[in-house]
Amino acid sequence: MRTEVRIAGFGGQGVIMAGVIIGKAASLFDNKNAVQTQSYGPEARGGASRTEVVIDDDEIDYPKVTSPDILVAMSHEALIKYMGDLKDEGVLIIDPDMIVEEEIVDFVNEHKIKLYRAPATKTATEDVGLRIVANIVMIGAIVKVTEVVSVDAAKQAILDSVPKGTEDKNIQAFEAGYALL
């Protein structure tokens, strides 16, 4: 089955890294097929940034996301910019501290969106003690809610992607995110 995931935030939050890790987890460690793409251009710096991952047991022809099954938003600007084509009854995971929820209530109700709140930035800062691992915390929350990749594959992909010496902090971040939901 084809699953389309979009992760959005602002440049610097590591959303593209999160997409690469999920794609890598599916492709190399869950033995599925995955294609990862990302917003690319001058607007990516500082403004809204986006990565998309298509995951399928079968071969993937069309590599781009057309209407995501799963949308993850780590900033309000990116949420508003990229939520429009989320599938009806789709999964929306937000970092509640970064989002003005009143502005999306109508959208969520109208499209029967399954809304989850994962305070990734706060958890990274307060529980892990390292704000920059918010993206990894968010991967934990995504895996818990959607099972889009397995826990083992996600951990292996994280270890394969993060700088040497930061493995423990990143796995701790993943587990903290997994426990949020």
Partner 1 sequence: MVEERFVQGNEACALGAIAANCRFFAGYPITPSTEIAEQMSILLPKYGGSFVQMEDEIASAGAIIGASWSGMKAMTATSGPGISLMQENIGYGFITETPIVIINVQRGSPSTGQPTMSAQADMMQVRWGSHGDYEPIALAPSSVQEFFDFTIKAFNLAEEYRVPVTVLADEVVGHMREKLIIPDDIEIVTRKRPEKVDGQYLPFDAPCDGTTPMPAFGDGFNIHVTGLTHDERGYPDTNDPDTHTKLVERLCNKVLMHRKDICSVKKENCDDADIVIVSCGSPYRSVGAAMKKAREEGIKVGSLKIDTPWPFPEEEIAEIAKTASDIIVPEMNLGQIVHEVERAAHGEANVHLIGKIGGILHKPDEIYDKIKEING
Q: Which residues bind partner 1 (CB under 8 A)?
A: 20, 23-24, 27-28, 33-38, 40-42, 59-64, 66
Q: How far is the CB of 10 from partner 1 (least distance, A)?
A: 18
**Cβ closest to partner 1, residue 50 vs residue 76:** 50
Q: How far is the CB of 25 from partner 1 (least distance, A)?
A: 9
Q: How far is the CB of 160 from partner 1 (least distance, A)?
A: 9
Q: How far is the CB of 14 from partner 1 (least distance, A)?
A: 16
**Cβ closest to partner 1, residue 4 vs residue 95:** 4
**Cβ closest to partner 1, residue 45 vs residue 112:** 45
CA 54, CA 3: separation in Å to the nearest integer?
6
**Cβ closest to partner 1, residue 64 vs residue 164:** 64
Measured CA distances, 78 to 49, 70, 124 (Å):
7, 14, 20
**Cβ closest to partner 1, residue 62 vs residue 106:** 62
Q: How far is the CB of 148 from partner 1 (least distance, A)?
A: 15
Distance of CA 123 to the CA centre of its chain: 15
